[in-house]
Structure 1
Amino acid sequence: MEMRLMRLWLAVRCFFKALFHADFANQCLLLLNGTPATPDPVAVAPASAPTLLKSPRNDAITLLAALQREARFVDIVNESLDGYSDAQIGAAARDVLRDCGKVLARVFALRPVLEHAEGATVQVPAGYESECYRLTGDVSREPPFAGKLMHAGWQATKCDLPTWTGSGKGALVVAPAEVQLG
């Protein structure tokens, strides 16, 4: 019964609106003749966000390749150290570590999270970000905390990885095989 009342009310409203509004009357006439009052809207594809072309190479591989190319990092990590003395390993590691540090400085410009000497007493504020502080010891209390700095942490001030321009076939190659000819 309620649906009948709604239709009756709609008919009364349409009658008076058609009586006083010519445009509405014309639209009603088109509907009664089976023609849509307004043309079907043209389907417009939603504006898509610009697609970023994803490199076939993961950024971690690009970083590892830079560490290998500039510091021979993968070589020293994968080298069997059994046949070398501690002095030989230390001498080789010194060069690799120095060159790895140069790569990290260029790519990330690392700096300490806290500018205090290790062993200093530091304050951890209430509402601290857990990504910035790793608390050890008695953590049952509520912040703010005071504690001894065990490690100052590291944070990148930039991330400027080299752009890889190779093909998909070489996406997982960290260092190409070197072949001397002639």
Structure 2
Amino acid sequence: MSKPILSTGLRWLWLALLVLVVDLGFKQWIMDNFVLYETRPLIPFFNLHYAHNPGAAFSFLAGQDGWQRWFFAGIAIGIALVLLVLLYRTSARQKLNNIAYSLIIGGALGNLFDRMVHGFVVDMIDFYVGDWHFPTFNIADMGICIGAALIVLEGFFVSSGKSNDKDNKKVTNG
């Protein structure tokens, strides 16, 4: 039994595509206009800094001999496929979940592209306070983190909503 695509969460895939296009476009602009490790200050707590990351978040496993490229590529493909299935199974009306899944898919595919084409992920966003710098990241990482945060938030909303529904049923049935 198939359902119309527009009634599913797949309707939100445009957001994944938007994250992917903005991420890849910004990375290409950085590669075309910066020299590796070049930093350009923008405002007192924010720089653009061109870096390569062969690892994962916060350069996890970056010092390995290359196997991590394929490991992280496999994880990205697996997560994107699982989230596509979840989008298909989710109603288009469940906006928060669908937005979260789409942001993660777009981010995962943006970093997957980098790993497959360059062998590393291009990072460029550098926030800092004084001499302390948050690890450099990119638009894809932002999509993944915002999507994950939305999933956590959705968990709080669903839990409170379900308990209210049960309470309401008890009141009306009791």
Structure number with the bigger relative contact order (C-alpha 8 A, sep ≥ 6) is 2
Work out whether the TM-score is over 0.5: no
Higher percent of residues as helix: 2
TM-score range (shorter-chain normalised) is under 0.3
Task: Please give the TM-score of this superposition, normalised by the length of structure 1.
Answer: 0.20
Higher percent of residues as strand: 2
Task: Please give the TM-score of this superposition, normalised by the length of structure 2.
Answer: 0.21
